[in-house]
Structure 1
Amino acid sequence: MSISIGNLRATASWNRTSRFWLAWPQATGHRDHDDAARDDSIALAQLLAVHAPVTMVATPMDVVQCSLQMPAGVMTLAADAGSSLLATQPVWLADAAGTVLAGVASDSLAGRDLAQAAGVQVVDLPAGWQGDLIETDGEGTAMVLARLAEGLVGGRVEAERLLAEKLGIMQVIWLNDPGAGRVPARYLAPGVVAVPGGHDANHPAFAALSANRDLLRAASDRVGRNFKVLDLPCPSRQRGCYSDCMVAGDLVVVPEFEESRDAQAFAQVVAALPDSRVIAFPATHLAGPGNGLGRTVLAQPKMN
């Protein structure tokens, strides 16, 4: 069932968390990798369960094995496309007071399945719009990937009107796509943004990422804060992303990729977030290419 959103607005990731959603790693045919990924998933579920309930999403074929390995209190959910269910990265919506979660915005079938599992309704978005293209601070400002406006007759003007109307986003910062197909930045706290850095001038993403970094450093959000931009390193051996931290309430989980730059990335985040609980967790076997833990774990905001 679809709903009319009225005064609803997109929430921030530092809202209180109602539930964490994780995807049970599917077999790749590489036993050592698969075993490590599943061990890390179990450990991550156990860590997060201290903060909020956890549901592990698994394919019907894997759900029995998954449920037998879960720590006490961690739920399992059978879904035909467990990983894609979470990959939709929906935009959670709350009422004007910021207290009641009212809907999930997604244009995909997986997003609708997730909305049903989460117990919320669906808000329709234009075709091709998905949460990975939008990163919001819950206060009316969002970083948005430039390609979100493609295909709209009115271009960015029309896109900004729809973002305001459907998601309560009143100020848009358009970012270039370095090739990942998602917003190449993440809010860690109000006014604090992490971006991937460390690329040399010959890297194909260098120009787009440099332009985005300069744009954010010169910008301010809707309430007048200048952005504090954390230029985090890139893993030297892995195709991961340190800036893709998982943020849920005051908890920030920095991905580790089993290399020396782990310590540098962690130290930068700790220094920038003195009021947050910052921890590190291995992401080598869990994160997809170009990702960290932010797009590996889905934090559902708390409903009242």
Structure 2
Amino acid sequence: MAWRMPAETARHDRTWMAFPVEGQTLGESAAERDEGYATWTAVAHAVAEFEPVTMLVDPRELARARRMLGAGVEIVEAPVDEFWMRDSGPTFVIDDERPEALGAVDWIFNGWGDPEWADWAAAAQHARIIARGVDAELVSSTLVNEGGGIHVDGQGTVLLTETVQLDPRRNPYADRQRVEAEMLRTIGATKAVWLPRGLTRDYDDFGTNGHVDIVATIVSPGRLLLHAQNDPAHPDHAVTRKLRAHLAEQTDAAGRSFEVIDLPAPSTLRDDEGFVDWSYVNHLVTNDGVVACGFGDERADAVAREILGEAYPGRRVVTVDARPLFDRGGGIHCITQQQPALGQSSPTGALA
């Protein structure tokens, strides 16, 4: 069998998410917790305008989830601690020679390098729980990796970051060749494009150490959207220019040079914790739509919607305020995981 991860622009059967639970990530105060619940709910409702949404909900949060999500979001009861579904959930793959086959890559998830603050034992089981529920073939991996650490074009190209897959807290014995071999085996990537690093804030204690999904994404074969920090007062001004020069020298699996399209950052440079990593790159492409991050910057949000609309023609772009997500360590892409549609209706089953 030859597994292949489709591009995010391919049709989806559904999007998976996980409902927040109380703890350090959600917030210490009642107001912070309410903000978190509301933001995860807002993203779910925005995605549900375009495709079905299934939400893993911890038993402790069932009543709240049912009340807030309503009938438009399917709820599946399962243990939850970390609730960043892009990273803890499965990476879905297909087999072009078996149109009815759905695979689910189960990366090892250790909470982004097993930091002291992370509670990830329950989240590490999400990929297997979901795979059983949708009757997907489990593609078990020995690589510590997260869905936010990869982006693909569906035609053999994968974007990676040296400080993620080669992070000694994740994979102390890995090298590029071993990582690339695993990318070929699990998601069908024949060409790895390595970024040297991610955004500055992402290297803080609560960061991912350089996830690509706030930096760059392949919108179509040969075309990249790149986070562009245009203010020299922000350290990512230099970072994103170096990344742009680096990507301009790369080629994809078909040998094409990349057309790099800048996606400018909003005007806010700092919050109470330091320089922000607010990025419009961290959007979710859905069936006939794009759910984009908003940052309370009317002009920048509008520019981002225009660029995203041009990058994904025929899709309606909607914005959800993502500041509460970034305050907690991620964005819209980070809390969602798409399940690709198959030749016919893919089995959904019942999660056990």
Short-chain TM bin:
0.7 to 0.9
Question: Mind listing any 5+ residue stretches in structure 1 that lack a counterpart?
Answer: 1-5
2:153 matched to which residue of 1? 137
1:256 matched to which residue of 2? 294
Partner amino acid, structure 2, of 1:9: R
Q: Given the two structures, how large is their TM-score scaled by the length of structure 2?
A: 0.74
Write the distance in 1 (CA, Å) between the matches of 2:326 and 2:136: 27
Give the 3 Å change call, closer, same or farther, for CA 209–174 of structure 1 in structure 2: same
2:91 matched to which residue of 1? 91
2:283 matched to which residue of 1? 245
Shift of 1:55: 1.6
8 A Cα contact 1:194 1:230, kept in partner: yes
Q: Does 1:23 align with 2:23?
A: no
Write the distance in 1 (CA, Å) between the matches of 2:189 and 2:281: 23
Partner amino acid, structure 1, of 2:282: D
Shift of 1:172: 0.9
8 A Cα contact 1:197 1:232, kept in partner: yes
Partner amino acid, structure 2, of 1:13: E
Q: Does 1:217 align with 2:248?
A: yes
One of 181, 191, 196 as aligned partner of 1:171: 191
1:266 matched to which residue of 2? 305
Write the distance in 2 (CA, Å) between the matches of 1:42 and 1:59: 15
What percent of counterpart residues are identical? 26
Shift of 1:266: 1.8
Shift of 1:299: 1.6
Question: Mind listing any 5+ residue stretches in structure 2 that lack a counterpart?
Answer: 110-123, 345-352
Write the distance in 2 (CA, Å) between the matches of 1:9 and 1:258: 37
Write the distance in 1 (CA, Å) between the matches of 2:98 and 2:249: 29
8 A Cα contact 2:55 2:74, kept in partner: yes
Give the 3 Å change call, closer, same or farther, for CA 20–153 of structure 1 in structure 2: closer
Shift of 1:53: 1.9
Deviation string, structure 1 residues 137-157 (Cα, Å, up to 9, x no partner): 111001111142465767223
Aligned length: 299
8 A Cα contact 1:93 1:105, kept in partner: no
2:104 matched to which residue of 1? 103
Give the 3 Å change call, closer, same or farther, for CA 262–157 of structure 1 in structure 2: same
1:62 matched to which residue of 2? 61
Shift of 1:174: 0.5
Which range is displaced more, 6-15 or 75-84?
A: 75-84
Which range is displaced more, 34-43 or 127-136?
A: 34-43
Shift of 1:21: 1.7
